[in-house]
């Protein structure tokens, strides 16, 4: 099956819609699930018994989604092909007691989530999104996508050294957004959220809320060859993985698949992945094992399936920065629109080895997609992602890849407009085997 022309710039147009509609991990998995349902997938509840029938399935848990497609003729020991990603992005998160303020300003108390570039949140119009938990245990998504909050920067007249000595931000004192005038009132924010969502304030017993920049994603550049937008780390990969899985499942009737294709999009990568919805938790292993057992498999079948499984851990990486080229390795300069990157670190901050490189290269060759190599400058600490966690926790061969971007962990990031669909094409070829 030829995959070189499967996705084009229309994929990037759809990514823009996906980013705009996914201001929180909970929205991201809901939108991914909706796309998969249109491709014939159906949701399974973890508390129900599972059967081993063919077709597409997915499990939702908080800000994570695991989806897979069982093709005709799959054995209990059939290996998996997994696209791994994460749904969370560094940002600001609302505290349990959110109502604060002083000197006639009403403010919202927030906590810093992940390694966000703090200055990129200054002087932006911010909305509020996430989920609320109701008294009966159900959840409701909320998205107040209008100018509601703002973290005001100090005027240059009151900080004369800011342009010579640099901006210094205190995470506690300087990052609390304003949202009105007057004295703070306990319960004010949740009363407002209740009115906006049409629920009784007394029914709201919990919340996971976060500000988001309301400026929509957009093409950028003389020839619109770039894409600027929020949360591309790592919703770009979630979107590509969802599109690839749906495409492979749709075409599986024409050509049987030798593997079971899987999308595993986790939450909490930006703070270590240690949660029940993170890559360092048991969610992926449990789902895959239950899939094996539902098809009549044994522990031996599970071991055989895992031994033949490969995971492409797709997360964004660093494009060479024209203003800071000295921060990059002198012989590895990933460029925008140069195709997806293979991420390598011999200290296993990335899980790629030579064998994994061959798997990725074969997928790109099959898809007709160019690809690049990324390695960190030896004098700079290397980041990491879910790849090494997946490899170590499940004993699964894992390869770290992604798309090269600028302004990683900013409230607004930048990539080549062609790279999202090049990545998606490579993922299709990988999932097809």
pLDDT of residue 1: 39
Q: Which residues contact 121 (CB under 8 A, 6 or more apart)?
A: 91, 92, 151, 175, 211, 213, 411
In angstroms, rounded to a whole number, what is the distance separating the alpha carbons of residues 125 and 152?
A: 10
Can you give the pLDDT at residue 5? 46
**Residue 271: CA count within 13 A, CB half-sphere:** 16
Check residue 409 and give left, alpha or beta (phi > 0: left; psi -120 to 50: alpha).
left
Strands 91-102 and 139-149: unpaired
- With DSSP H G I counted as helix, E B as strand and the rest as coil, what are the percentages for the chain, rounded to 5? 30, 30, 40
Give the E-state strand segments of 351-417 in sequence order: 372-374, 397-402, 404-406, 413-416
Q: Which two tokens stand for residue 148?
A: 């509601």
Name the pairing type of β-strands 55-61 and 42-43: parallel
Of 397, 403, 405, 306, whose CA–CA distance to 352 is shortest?
397
By the 8 A CB rule, do 399 and 311 touch?
yes
E-strand stretches of 271-351: 310-314, 317-318, 341-343
Which secondary structure element, helix H or strand E, spans residue 80, and what is its range?
strand 80-86
b or e along 374-412 (b: 16 or more beta carbons within 10 Å of the residue's beta carbon)?
A: bbbeeeeebbbbbbbbbbebbebbbbbbbbbbbbbbbbb
Q: What is the pLDDT of residue 274?
A: 94
Q: How long a stretch of residues is the chain?
A: 433
Q: What 3-state DSSP class applies to 350?
A: coil
Gap between the Cα atoms of 390 and 280, Å rounded: 7
Provide block-wise average pLDDT over 10 residues at a time, the chain (433 residues). 66 98 98 98 97 96 98 96 98 98 97 97 98 96 98 94 93 97 96 96 97 98 97 98 97 87 97 95 97 97 98 97 94 96 96 96 97 95 94 97 98 98 97 93
pTM recorded for the entire structure: 0.96
Cα Rg, the chain, nearest whole Å: 22
DSSP secondary structure string for all residues of 168-214: ---TTTS-PPEEEES---TTHHHHHHHHHHT--GGGEEEEEEEEEE-
Instruction: Dump strand ranges (E) for 330-403.
Output: 341-343, 372-374, 397-402
What is the DSSP-derived secondary structure letter of residue 281? Answer: S
Residue 11: closest CA among 360, 426, 314, 431:
426
Q: CB count, 10 Å around CB of 164?
A: 6
* 74 within 8 A of 260, measured Cβ to Cβ: yes
Q: How many CA atoms lie within 13 A of 269 on its CB side?
A: 31
Give helix then strand counts, H and E, for the chain.
Answer: 10, 20
Q: Tell me, what DSSP letter sits at residue 150?
A: B
Q: How many CB atoms lie within 10 A of CB 67?
A: 30
Start-to-end CA span in the chain (Å):
10
Residue 256 is predicted with a pLDDT of 84
Q: Using CA atoms, how far apart are residues 334 and 415, in angstroms rounded to an integer?
A: 11
Give the per-residue pLDDT at 6: 78
The string of pLDDT tens digits covering residues 143-157 is: 999 999 999 999 999
Residue identified by tokens 């020839």 is 223
């Amino acid at each position: 099956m030829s995959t070189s022309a499967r996705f084009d710039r229309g994929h990037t147009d759809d990514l823009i819609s996906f980013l705009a509609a996914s201001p929180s991990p909970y929205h991201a998995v809901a939108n991914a699930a909706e796309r998969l349902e249109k491709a014939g997938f159906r949701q399974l509840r973890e508390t129900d018994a599972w059967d081993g029938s063919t077709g597409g399935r997915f499990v939702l848990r908080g800000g994570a989604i695991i989806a897979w497609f069982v093709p005709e003729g799959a054995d209990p020991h059939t290996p998996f092909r997994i696209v791994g990603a994460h749904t969370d992005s560094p940002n600001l998160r609302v505290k349990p007691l959110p109502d604060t303020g002083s000197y006639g300003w009403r403010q919202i108390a927030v906590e810093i989530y992940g390694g966000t570039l703090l200055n990129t949140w200054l002087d932006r119009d911010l909305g509020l999104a996430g989920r609320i938990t109701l008294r009966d245990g159900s959840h409701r998504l909320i998205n107040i996508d209008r100018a509601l909050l703002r973290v005001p920067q100090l005027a240059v007249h009151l900080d004369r050294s800011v342009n010579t000595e640099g901006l210094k931000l205190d995470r506690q004192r300087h990052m609390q957004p304003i949202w009105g005038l007057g004295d703070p009132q306990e319960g004010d924010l949740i009363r407002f959220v209740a009115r906006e969502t049409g629920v009784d304030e007394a029914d709201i017993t919990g919340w996971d809320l976060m500000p988001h920049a309301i400026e929509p994603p957009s093409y950028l550049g003389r020839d619109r060859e770039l894409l600027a937008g929020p949360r591309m780390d790592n919703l770009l990969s979630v979107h590509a993985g969802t599109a690839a899985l749906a495409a492979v499942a749709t075409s599986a009737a024409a050509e049987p698949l030798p593997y079971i294709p899987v999308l595993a999009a986790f939450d909490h990568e930006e703070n270590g992945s240690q949660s029940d919805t993170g890559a360092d938790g048991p969610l992926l292993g449990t789902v895959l094992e239950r899939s094996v057992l539902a098809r009549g498999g044994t522990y031996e079948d599970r071991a055989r399936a895992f031994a033949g499984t490969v995971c492409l851990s797709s997360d964004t990486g660093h494009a060479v920065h024209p203003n800071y080229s000295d921060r990059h390795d002198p012989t590895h300069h990933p460029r925008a629109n140069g195709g997806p990157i293979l991420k390598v670190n011999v200290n296993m901050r990335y899980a790629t080895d030579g064998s994994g490189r061959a798997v990725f290269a074969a997928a790109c060759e099959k898809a007709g997609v160019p690809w690049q190599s990324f390695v960190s400058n030896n004098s700079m600490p290397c980041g990491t992602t879910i790849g090494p966690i997946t490899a170590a926790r499940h004993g699964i061969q894992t390869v770290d890849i992604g798309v090269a971007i600028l302004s990683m962990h900013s409230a607004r990031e930048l990539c080549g407009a062609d790279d999202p669909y090049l990545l998606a094409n490579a993922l299709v070829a990988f999932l097809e085997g």
